[in-house]
Amino acid sequence: MDLSRKGVADRLLARRGIGYDVPAEGYDELYGEEQLEKYSAIVSELEKEVAGISVVADVGCGTGLLGEYLRTMGFGGIYVGIDLASERLESAKRRADSSWMLIQADAEHLPLRSRSIDLVACVTVIHLLDVERAVREIVRVSRGYLAVTLLWKRLDLRDRLLQSIRRSAGEASMREILRSDLRDLIIVLSCDGGVTSNPSSTK
């Protein structure tokens, strides 16, 4: 049995039935524009809070597109990219700078301290995970905000996702974004208290 980090990661991916329809080098070309639209929607929703964000964790970072997007937007803080797939992380390394930390790890067992991250993003990944375990982890490490997106074609998981968020985040302020030009439902949370609410908006 291969007990290397890559071997363990590959077995976890296989156990969860996670495969990739395109190699890492083709991912940006096929899905990059679509992902950038989601990032833009998240940043717009957090516009007033962005100035206070200095550490971002991208759970399921893939090739590091979110990190590059944040850099083009003038983000000068620390970007932590986390993914199980070694080939995705190798692609991310090619666009990384000194402010990036790239970690091969499982989203359901994040190697991060509790309340250590200002913004935790999990974009187009949650449907591949055990929803409750993953939500529990991303809530645990956040000291500020969460952004989770769910593919429209997996909206059957919406209720389970919202229930998991409420169980883990308690009285967090929650906003749902449902736009016709995006292929994901976007959920943004503030984990610093406030009255729980979950209005749905269509733009």
Taking the domains of the chain in order of start, what are their residue ranges? 5-202
CATH code linked to domain 5-202: 3.40.50.150
Q: Provide the residue type at 94 as one letter.
A: R
- pLDDT below 50 — which residues of the chain? 1-4, 7-20, 193-203
| Spatial CA neighbour of 59 closest among 118, 115, 110, 99 | 110
The tokens for 99 are 């402010």
Torsion of Cα atoms, 22 then 27 then 30 then 33, to 10°: 160
Please give the Cα distance from 53 to 29 (Å, whole number). Answer: 29
The pLDDT of residue 16:
46
The pLDDT of residue 13:
41
Q: Which residues pair with 176 in a beta bridge?
A: 187, 200
